[in-house]
Amino acid sequence: MEEFTDKRAEEIVSVSSASENNSTSTLLDESSSVQKTSEDDGGFCEENKAQSTTKYPFTWLDVVMIVLCFAISQGLGGLIAMSFGVEIPSEYMRSSLDTETLEASATIQARFVAISYLISMAICLVLLGIYGRFRGWRGLLSLRSLGWASPFRLLCGYIFMWMVSISLEPLTALLPGDQSSLGSGGWLLLSAVLLAPIFEEVVFRGYIEGGLRRAYGGVVAWLVSALIFGAVHVIPSVAVSAFFSGLVLSFYYLRYRSLSLVILLHAANNATACFLLSFGMQELSLKDLMHGSNLYWGVYALCTLICVSLLLRMGRLLSRLKSDNSELKRE
């Protein structure tokens, strides 16, 4: 009887030991798999990649709804501003040949744009917050994304965006680009350098790009968010520039998951444009400054080569950033 008991005990210990070895092996395999997945992403975003059992609730219809919210809020902002007596310049002021009258018209226009933009910004963000909660967009925007923005990354992004601008000069010069409707002065700085970067980055990078990345992957999110960002700027020359600037901003957001970084990049780019606009140099190009010399064409060719190479590199890197739903499709 004692021999039977001893043998039974040995069998139990043996089974327990084998089970522990199998568990350890499984954990090591899972750890290796997680590490390999992280490497395959090319170092993109350090967010948790916990397995989801349901498809992330973001579709193309949601993209349409976000753009509609953005457009409707713009119209409502203008109507509400006018209903509260915010002045807009008359046709007489806009067409006047008097310098002082034109300056006054620009200031009035800029004030109206800033106030209506602030109202539309509040309306749109409230609507998107309600809609996002209804749709169940988990973790699409977080306070963590407003963390520290690296000055070096900011500088690199700013330089790259202006290299893109130089590369686009021959194309944008052929397109209409009247920006007088924006006004000028301190009110223009408020709307273009403070309000617009915050509002547009939250909508286009936070909501649209963030949702598309989770649902359809990095490349789709990168291209579509930039395309929509360009389209809403309406003015042809500005829209083209905004599309390519949007590619840079979209890549930075997908790569570093930092809204503060892309907001500051957007603000710096707009601040430079406002500076040129304030001094009547918005039509001034590098070609004009360098008088179309051979040196200009050398600089232009170098900038274009670098921009094309970097954009292609961005696309290859983002192709590794899979959607949250891709794991479900494999299963």
Domain boundaries, the chain: 60-330
Higher pLDDT, 262 or 136: 262
What is residue 82's predicted lDDT score, i.e. its pLDDT?
Answer: 93
Cα gap 101→92, rounded to integer Å: 9
Q: Which residue has the tokens 């909660």?
A: 133
- Report residue 110's pLDDT band, with 50, 70 and 90 as the boundaries: confident
**Would the pLDDT of 191 be above 70?**
yes
Give the C-alpha separation, 200 to 197, whole Å. Answer: 5
Question: What is the percent of the chain where pLDDT is above 70?
Answer: 74
Measured distance CA(197)–CA(157) in Å, rounded = 15
Name the pTM for this structure: 0.79
d(CA 285, CA 171): 12
Long-range residue pairs from 172-179, CB within 8 A, at least 24 positions apart, any chain:
172/237, 172/240, 172/241, 173/237, 173/285, 175/236, 175/237, 175/240, 176/235, 176/236, 176/237, 177/235, 177/236, 177/237, 177/238, 177/282, 177/283, 178/235, 179/235, 179/238, 179/277, 179/282
Residue 283 confidence class, pLDDT cut points 50, 70, 90: low
pLDDT at 43 over 60: no
